[in-house]
Chain A
Amino acid sequence: MTFRIGPRTNQIIAYSILLLMTLITVVVLFFIIGYVFKNGIGQLSLEFLTDKTRDMGKEGGILPSILGTFFVTIFAIIIATPLGVGSAVYLVEYTKGGLIHRIISFGADCLAGVPSIIFGLFGFIFFVIRLNLGWSIISGGLTLAVMIIPTIIRTTEEAIKAVPHSFREISYSLGGGKLDTILKVVLPTSLPGILTGVILGIGRAVGETAAVIFTAGSSLGIPTSAFSSTRTLAVHFYILAREGISMPKAYATATVLIIIILLVNFIAYRLMHRFMAKYY
């Protein structure tokens, strides 16, 4: 006699397993965020956010690191977005799945899987030493840009592929050329997807440690130019914790980092929804 489970029981078991999996994921996520917040939130104050760092981080605030993170990330996004979007447009609209497309896609995928410390090492050798840019916002930004370009290419590619062929036909039949069609129909239609890629890129750049510690340096001064060395929040947190300078300050820094990432995501998704509501 074979053992059988009734269809209803079957459903209940499947539902329970899936629910359990979701719960585990969510609980782990909330535990991490909650743990960091619990240890860090008490240290937060306006002074901590707006004061210079003193005594290697034992005292004072994290203003230099907030500024450093901001500039390095902005620099990386400004470089990576046009390059990534441009490459994706070229791949989808001009190479039509040929050999070039496959080679570049394969390269982008490989690049996306390379550990960030390798990018750090590359950035150090190429930007910092070879191009003599030194430990600076430029070097850090360029390194991060190289690192997040594959993400932007991939998400943009998918977004562009999802634009219905009929939209292109309409544009052509109204006398639009290829470039008109790309600029006025394809890119606006795929903007939400492109934005998602950029947000993912910002998230990766803000939280990155290994790639910037070698390229942007770890100076605690307030950055004054693109050539200033700076210490991003993630690097600051790493150094505070690794060298045992001050665990409370480390958790406070981590809390700020998490809040920034949540804010970036929240604002970006709000913007996207407003855009979608307007056009779809």
Chain B
Amino acid sequence: MIKVSIKNLNLFYNKVQALKNISLDIEKNEILGVIGPANSGKSSLLRAINRLSENDYARLSGTIILDDTDIFTIPINDLRRRVGLIFATPVVLPGSIHKNMSYGPKLHRRFKGSELDEIIFNALSAANLWKEVKDRLKDSASTLSGGQQQRLCIARTLAMDPEVIMMDEPCSGLDPISTAKIEATMFELKEKYTFILVTNNTKQAARVANKTAFFLAGELIEIDKTEKIFTSPADSRTDGYIRGKFG
């Protein structure tokens, strides 16, 4: 079943075209890996899907369909609840861990009694962070380590009860152990959510992604099953990038 379907997507910043006629489908409960060198349009793709690109004064054409609905017809705060985005550098909001976790849910509806605490518990557990923070929910979120902060960001997105989770190089600033923890989290969560993982680390895509898309200079060069991309890619440029010949 297709969760997100992108057709003929073009994106411009002023006169610079960042995405060129992109068409791709993302299957439900899969991890799509997106690889490519800097400036290839990977982040622009993510920011187009949750319409954050509108804040960058970007111009878009083409269609993006989420579950049979054009995303431009979905109220923007609803779209962003359904499609979460995790940034490369973990940014925690000033305030406690609890405040970070409740910020998103409280924007969308009111909660009664322990309902919110339950959501926070579930999200932190799912992000494999609960055990480490359960006694310090009132502490400032900035006292957490970098890896913990990134997992807090993931938990903060999970607390919104999203359908699609987009990650923009989520492990770029993390050590191998933190990276492994986040990859394990993604694997566990795949059953419930659909992932789009932009990564600079091709090995990470090979490890976790079901399908991998290779972007170059705003174009989608090819998208296929991850094994296929990493063993016998159709395009020689994909092969060259994976082997580290450029990028």
Residues of A that sit less than 8 Å from B by CB: 164, 166-167, 169-177, 180, 184-185, 188-189, 278-280
Q: How far is the CB of A183 from chain B (nearest CB, A)?
A: 11
For the complex, count residues of B whose C-beta is within 8 A of A.
Answer: 26
Whether B230 sits at the interface, judged by CB under 8 Å, is no
Interface of chain B: mostly helix, strand, loop or mixed: helix
Known: A173-B80, A173-B84, A177-B77. A279 touches B108 (CB 8 A): no
Q: Which residue in A171, A175, A176, A280 is a CB contact (below 8 Å) of B140?
A: A280
CB within 8 Å of A: which of B10-58?
50, 52, 55
Chain B residues in 8 Å Cβ range of A174:
80-81, 84, 103-104, 107, 156-157, 160
Question: Nearest CB to that of B79 among chain A residues?
Answer: A175
Report A52 CB to chain B, min CB distance, Å.
Answer: 49
A173–B76 CA distance with the chains assembled, in angstroms: 10
Contacts of A166 in B (CB 8 A): 87, 89, 91
Instruction: Find chain A residues with CB under 8 A from B140 CB.
Output: 278-280
> A-B pairs with the 6 shortest C-beta distances?
A174-B104, A175-B80, A175-B77, A166-B91, A175-B81, A173-B85
Taking CB atoms, residues of chain B closer than 8 Å to A170 are 87, 91, 93
C-alpha spacing A173/B80, complex, angstroms: 6
A73 to B140, CA, bound (A): 35
Given contacts A170-B87, A173-B80, 18 further A-B contacts (CB under 8 A): A166-B87, A166-B89, A167-B91, A169-B52, A169-B87, A170-B91, A170-B93, A172-B55, A172-B80, A174-B103, A174-B160, A175-B80, A175-B104, A175-B108, A176-B104, A177-B77, A188-B94, A280-B94
Contacts of A188 in B (CB 8 A): 94-95
Which B residue sits closest to A189, measured CB to CB? B94
Q: Which of A167, A175, A177, A180 contacts B93 (CB 8 A)?
A: A167
B156 and A280 contact, CB distance less than 8 A: no
B78 at the interface (CB under 8 A from A): yes
What's the Cα separation between A170 and B156 when bound, in Å? 10
- Shortest CB–CB separation between residue A162 and chain B, in angstroms? 12
Minimum C-beta distance from A176 to chain B (A): 5
Query: Binding site of A, secondary structure by majority: helix, strand, loop or mixed?
Result: helix
**Measured between alpha carbons, how far is A173 from B84 in the docked complex, in Å?**
7
Separation of A174 and B50 alpha carbons in the complex (Å): 10
Highest count of chain A CB atoms <10 Å: which of B52, B85, B103, B160? B103
Q: Which residue of A lies closest to B91 (CB)?
A: A166
Q: Are B89 and A176 in contact, CB atoms less than 8 angstroms apart?
A: no
Q: Which residue of A lies closest to B108 (CB)?
A: A175
Pick from B79, B107, B157: contact of A176, CB under 8 Å: B107
Q: Within B78-130, which residues are at the interface with A (CB < 8 Å)?
A: 78-81, 84-85, 87, 89, 91, 93-95, 103-104, 107-108
Q: Are A173 and B50 within 8 A (Cβ)?
A: yes
B63 in the interface (beta carbon within 8 A): no
Q: Is the CB of A279 within 8 A of B87?
A: no
Q: Write out the residue numbers on chain A whose beta carbons fall within 8 Å of the beta carbon of B93.
A: 167, 170-171, 185
**Residues from chain B with Cβ under 8 Å of A280 in the complex:** 94, 140, 142
Q: Tell me the minimal C-beta distance from B212 to chain A in angstroms.
A: 24
Q: List chain B residues, Cβ under 8 A from A171.
A: 93, 103
B144 to chain A minimum Cβ distance, whole angstroms, is 13
Most buried by A among B81, B87, B91: B91
